[in-house]
Amino acid sequence: MRTALVPTMGALHNGHLRLVEMGLRTADRVVTTIFVNPQQFAPGEDLDAYPRTEKSDVEKLRAAGVHLIFAPPLLEMYQEGFCTSVSTAGPAKAGLEDKSRPHFFEGVTTVVAKLFIAAGCDYAMFGEKDFQQLKVVTKMARDLSIPTSVIGVPTVRADDGLALASRNAYLSEEQRSIAPMLHQTLQHLATDIRNGKNMTRACSAAKKTLKQNGFKTDYVEIRVAETLEPVKSVPEAELRILAAAWLGKTRLIDNIAV
C-alpha cells in the first residue's frame, strides 16, 4: 500500500486541499500534518499571529478524504533539550528567501526531516508556490537518503491570479485588490524574457511596476529552475521567475515558469 504525506501549518485553503487531492491520486492513503513550526519563524516574525484554525482544518481534511491527521503539540515535536537541526546548502542558499529569512530553511528542513522519518511515507506533496522550499526539501530527502519522493504540485490561484496562501488573510480589502499585480507583473516579465529582452533590464522594469503599485519588493529573480542558480547564458535549462514583495505588513511570494 502506497502512502503520501501532506505537511502543513494549518490555516488550510484550496492550495492545501489540492495537495491532498494529488496525494489521494498518487497513493492509497494520505497523512496530513498540522504543526505551526516555531523553528522556521525568526524572533519578530508572525509566529504568534499566524492563523490557527485547527477545528475547521480538521473538518476540511476529513471532507477531502484524508486518512490520518497528525497535529502534535509542541513538546511532541521538540522535546525538552532538543538540540539537533538539519542544515542544507545548495538551493537553500540561493539568495532568495534565505536572504531575508536566513533562519527559515533550517527550521523547515529540521521539521520536515522529522515528519518524513516519523511518517515513513512513499511520497510527500509540496506546493510549487514555495518553489525554493520544494527544491530544498527535495534535495534534503535525496542527500539524507530518506526514501520519500517529493512531488511538486502546481500553485493554486484565485480567479484574479493571486497565489493562495494562508498569509493572504492578513491583507486589507484594498491590499487584496492590489495583490494580483504581483502575478500579473511576473507574467509580463516571463513574456519579455521569452521575447528575448535583456533579463536585468526586464527585472528592473518589473520591480518598478511593483513599486508604482504600492509593493516594496524584496527580490525579483530569474533562475535555473532545477538548481535555483543564477542564469549564466541564454538559452539555458528551464528557467523560473521568483519574487517576494511586501504589501504593507504582508509579505507575498510567487513564482512562474518562463
Active site residues: 16
Among 3, 4, 5, 8, binds ligand PAF (CB under 6 A): 8
Instruction: Give the nearest distance from C-beta 182 to ligand PAF in angstroms.
Output: 18
Rank residues 125 and 190 by Cβ distance to ligand PAF and give the closer one: 125
Rank residues 115 and 202 by Cβ distance to ligand PAF and give the closer one: 115
Under rule CB under 6 A, residue 156 binds ligand PAF = no
Rank residues 166 and 185 by Cβ distance to ligand PAF and give the closer one: 166
Under rule CB under 6 A, residue 130 binds ligand PAF = yes
C-alpha to C-alpha distances, 230 to 106, 193, 223, 258, nearest whole angstrom: 22, 15, 5, 14
DSSP class of 196: T
Rank residues 37 and 148 by Cβ distance to ligand PAF and give the closer one: 37
Q: Which one, of 70, 109, 59, lies nearest residue 87 by Cα? A: 109
Instruction: Give the nearest distance from C-beta 226 to ligand PAF in angstroms.
Output: 20
Take residue 169 and report the three cell numbers written for it: 488573510
Strand partners, 217: 245
**Dist CA 170 CA 176 (whole Å):** 9
- The residue to which cell 491532498 is assigned: 20
Among 3, 4, 5, 7, binds ligand PAF (CB under 6 A): 7
Instruction: Give the nearest distance from C-beta 59 to ligand PAF in angstroms.
Output: 19
- E-strand ranges in 45-189 read 68-70, 123-127, 149-153
Under rule CB under 6 A, residue 9 binds ligand PAF = yes
Strand partners, 127: 153
Contact flags string 83-112 toward ligand PAF, x per CB under 6 A: -------------------------x--xx
**Dist CA 169 CA 158 (whole Å):** 13
Task: List the 123-127 sheet strands across, edge first.
Answer: 68-70, 29-34, 3-8, 123-127, 149-153
Q: Which residues bind ligand PAF (CB under 6 A)?
A: 7-9, 37, 40, 108, 111-112, 130, 133
